[in-house]
Structure 1
Amino acid sequence: MGIFTPENLKALFKPKKRRYIKRDREDAAQQLWKDYFAENPVFPPEYFRRRFRMRRQLFLRILNDITTHDNFFKQKPDATGRMGVHPYIEDDKQYLCSSNESDIAHLLQEGEERGFPSMLGCIDCMHWEWKNCPKRWHGTHKGRGRKPTLILEAIASKNLWIWHAFFGMAGLHIDVNVLDHSPVFNRIINGIIPPVNYEMNGHHRTLGYYLSDGIYPKWAALIQTIPHPTTEKDKLFAQRQEAVRKDVERAFGVLQIRWVITHGPIYYWKKEDLSKIMRTCIILHNMIIENEGDTNILEWTPPTDESVYLPQYNRDRSFLAAHISTRLSRIRNVENNGDLRRDLMEHL
Structure 2
Amino acid sequence: MPRMVYTNILKGALVESDYFRKLMQPNAVGKLGISPLVKVICALRQISHDIPSDLAEDMCDVSETTASLCLDEFCKAVESHFRAKYLQDPTDEDLIRTERQFARVGFPGCIGCVDCGGWEWKSCPKALQGVMIGKEGKPTLRMELICYLDMWIWAFQFGLPEGFNDLNILELSTFFNKILAGSFPTVKPSYTVSGIGIDWY
Q: In the TM superposition, what are the counterparts of 1:317-332 in structure 2 within 5 Å?
A: none
Q: Say whether the 8 Å CA contact 1:195–1:206 is kept in structure 2.
A: no
RMSD across aligned C-alpha pairs, in angstroms?
Answer: 2.1
Unaligned runs of 5+ in 1: 1-52, 208-329, 331-348
State the 1:66 CA deviation.
0.8
Asked if structure 1 preserves the Cα contact closer than 8 Å seen for 2:109 and 2:191, the reply is no
The structure that has the greater radius of gyration is 1
Matched position secondary structure for 1:120: coil
Following superposition, the deviation at residue 115 of structure 1 comes to: 0.9
2:122 aligns to what SS in structure 1?
A: coil
- Residue 112 of structure 1: aligned partner: 103
Paired position in structure 2 for 1:77: 25
From 172, 180, 191, the equivalent of 1:199 is 191
Q: Distance in 1 between matches of 2:170 and 2:188?
A: 22
Distance 1:54 1:143, change over 3 A: same
Aligned sequence identity (%)? 30
Paired amino acid for 1:59: Y
Q: Could you tell me which runs of 5 or more consecutive residues in structure 2 were left unpaired when the two chains were aligned.
A: 41-80
Q: Is the 8 A contact 1:121 1:156 kept in 2?
A: yes
The structure where strand makes up a greater share of residues is 2
d(CA) in 2 for partners of 1:107, 1:144: 36
Query: Shift of the alpha carbon at 1:64?
Result: 2.2
- What pairs up with 1:239-278 in 2 under 5 angstroms? none
TM-score with structure 2 setting the length: 0.68
Shift of 1:63: 1.7
Aligned length: 155
CA contact (8 A) 2:118 2:141 kept: yes
- The alpha-carbon distance between structure 1 residues 55 and 132, as it changes in their structure 2 partners (threshold 3 A), is closer
1:148 aligns with 2:139: yes
The Cα offsets for residues 69-99 of structure 1, whole Å up to 9 and x where unpaired, read as: 1122232314233332322333242312222
Q: Which has the higher contact order (CA 8 A, sep 6+)?
A: 1
Shift of 1:184: 2.1
Distance (whole Å) between structure 2 residues aligned to residue 83 and residue 132 of structure 1: 33
